[in-house]
Amino acid sequence: MLKSAALLSASLFAIVKGQGVGTNQAETHPSLSWSKCTKSGGCVSTAGSVVLDANWRWVHNAAFTNCYTGNTWDKTICPDPTTCAANCQLDGAAYSSTYGITSSGNALTLKFITGSNVGSRVYLMASNTAYQMFKPLNQEFTFTVDLSTLPCGLNGALYFSEMAADGGSAAHPTNKAGAQYGTGYCDSQCPHDIKFINGAANMLNWTATSTNSGTGMYGSCCSEMDIWEANSVAAAYTPHPCSSTGLLECSGSTCTSTCDQPGCDFNSYRWGDTSFYGPGKTVDTTKPITVVTQFITSTGTATGTLSEIRRLYIQNGVTIQNSVTNIPGLTTYNSISDAFCKAQKAATGDTDSFESYGGMAQMGQAMARGMVLVLSIWDDYAVDMLWLDSDYPTTASATAPGVARGTCATSSGKPATVEAAGGSVQVIYSDIRFGDIGSTYTGAPYAPPGTTSSSTTTKTGGTTTSKAPTTTTTTSGATQSEFGQCGGIGYT
Q: Please report the beta strands in 85-202, taking only residues with DSSP state E, as ranges in sequence order.
A: 89-90, 101-104, 107-111, 113-114, 117-118, 120-127, 130-131, 133-134, 139-146, 154-161, 196-197, 200-201
CB 90 within 8 A of CB 21: yes
Compute CA distances 50 → 75, 302, 310, 369, 388, whole Å. Answer: 33, 27, 27, 21, 26
Query: Is 224 designated active site?
Result: yes
Helix (H, G, I), strand (E, B) or coil at 482: coil
Query: Is 229 designated active site?
Result: yes
CB 412 within 8 A of CB 152: yes
Q: How many other CB atoms are found less than 10 A from the CB of residue 246?
A: 18
CA distance 264 to 15: 33
CA distance 492 to 488: 10
CA distance 363 to 307: 10
CA distance 272 to 295: 24
**Cis bond leading into 415, ω under 30°?**
no
Per DSSP, the residues of 178-223 read GGGGT----BTT--S--SEETTEE--TT-EEEETTEEE-SEEEE--
224, 249, 308, 419: the catalytic one is 224
Residues near 115 by beta carbon (within 8 Å), at least 6 away in sequence: 11, 12, 98
Q: What is the gyration radius of the CA atoms in the chain, in angstroms?
A: 21
Helix (H, G, I), strand (E, B) or coil at 61: coil
Q: Indicate the residue type of 233.
A: V
**Counts for the chain of helices (H) and strands (E), in that order:** 8, 33
140, 162, 229, 482: the catalytic one is 229
CA distance 217 to 96: 33
Any idea what the Cα angle at residue 106 is, between residues 104 and 108, rounded to 5°?
Answer: 60
Q: Which of 258-292 are b and which e, b meaning 16 or more Cβ less than 10 Å from the residue's Cβ? A: bbbbbbbbbbbbbbbbbebbbeeeebbbeebbbbb
300, exposed or middle or buried, with CB in 10 Å at 0-12, 13-18, 19+? middle
Compute CA distances 483 → 239, 343, 480, whole Å. Answer: 7, 10, 10
CB 168 within 8 A of CB 178: yes
Could you give the residue numbers annotated as active site? 224, 229
